[in-house]
Chains A and B, each alone.
Chain A
Amino acid sequence: MIALEAINVTKIYGSGVNAVKAVDDVSLSVRRGEFVALVGPSGSGKTTMLAMLAGLLKPSQGQIVIANKDIGQMSEGKRTQFRGRYIGFSFQANNLVPYLTAQENVELLLRLNGKLNRQGRQRAHDLLTRLGLGERLRNRPGQLSGGQQQRVAIARALIHEPEVVLADEPTASLDTERAHQVVQTFADLIHEQNRAGIMVTHDLRMCKYVDRVIQMMDGKVSRTIFDRQAILQLAGSASDLEGVPPSPAAEPASLGL
């Protein structure tokens, strides 16, 4: 079942001679229980695409449909409300509210959706414990390591059972070992909870945990990799943080179905 669909989405910054097409007629979709990596070099349009999928940015053209609603047509207030209900986020930094404990940070989305009750608290507790933070529930972000903070952010992104979970460079501030731990946990939870997940990353090694890789180049989808072996090969060949070079052998851009 498709959880998220982008149809012919274009984003143009500026106007006239200064107009820049950051995303150019991109279509993609993500099913429930599917974890997708959006990769590409700097300036390829992947972050702009993620911002539009998240409802943080209105597309200049095209549609973004989540839960059968075109979020591109919504007012800013409606989109904010929609994000709180249907989308889970993990950012590369500044993920957590510094004056709330780990448990309170996770419960924030339940509180926002009016679902904070005894069961909700228990679920937040269980999720954090599952993520290895059972002893850190009452710690504030400043008392947690970068990896622990990312795991709290993952728990927060999933606690309110959103339609779509989005992660922007979730491993940017982590060492290799912790980066693998975080993304693996993220992937496991997306699969277990049957959510649609999209991760923007520079680190191709993290692609081994995803089901599909969408590569962007100059605002367009330059290739989509479905094949498990090809994905593992891509992740295995990446020795450090680098963008994916365009490959003539790659499959053409598609809806990814």
Chain B
Amino acid sequence: MIETRNLVKRFGPFTAVAGVSFKVERGEVLGFLGPNGAGKSTTMKMITGFLTPTEGTAIVCGHDVTSDALAVKEKVGYLPEGAPAYPDMTPAGFLRFIAEVRGIPAEKRKARIDEVAAMVHLEGVMHQSIETLSKGYKRRVGLAQAVLHDPDVLIMDEPTDGLDPNQKHEVRALIQSMAARKAIILSTHILEEVDAVCTRAIVINRGSIVADGTPDQLRSRSRYYNAVAITIAAVSQPGAVRDEIARLPGVDEVEDAGSASGRASFTVIPKRGRTVVEEVSRHARAKGWAVDELRVEGGRLDEVFRTITAGGGGGAR
């Protein structure tokens, strides 16, 4: 439902987005990851028709954004970064305005506004001016605005930025509840969010896609994927134990994960594409070590993120 074809955006000599192509289908929740200034927002602004691409185009529900931006805007619900809204208006007035502009028939307007307000829990503040609302409520007003016309495509720039953990949870639950019926793109730099809501993640760095896959696929790129965390009690010489594990055939490296006073904790990193948990546990049993904990790690998204975007950052948003 969303397709970008070699999207490029240059601001003078600076290239913010350097040829981004991907597709998002109904039912998918695509997480946009990347350091600040990587080009996430700029890409979204091009898909939503706010910025004109320097090259390439985006097709949303069959409409080309460079030739028929108005049709695209009708199909898309968009939450810009920071959830801007008119501060003098009340949420009720603001949503009524959006409903009018979106062409929701007058007789359905009130019912739809009430429905969406209930969905994002705005009921208590509908008649209070937006400038007096807390950040969490402002964000909800922005969300309500984006989903008011029940769009097929939903694009959200950092929807949970600056919210408290409860609010984040609510917003994520809301996104999940809509996920099956829509194609959703959201940008974030909170990695746990990718696990919580996204079916797929794209990592952008310096304007280009550097990784594209499900959260699990991304995680498998981590050196910690299938690593074994082991804690052994009553160890007199942690160094010797560590060397011993490191000599096992499947092991690439052993990291010290905080050994102290007779306890040794290591992270055993396997050679690429291998699993070592069996090997390690067999060896521990053979040696009669008092194993307190033995756990297989699923890989660390933050580590993957850092590895593939290292040296990035900087630049304009």
A and B from one complex: no
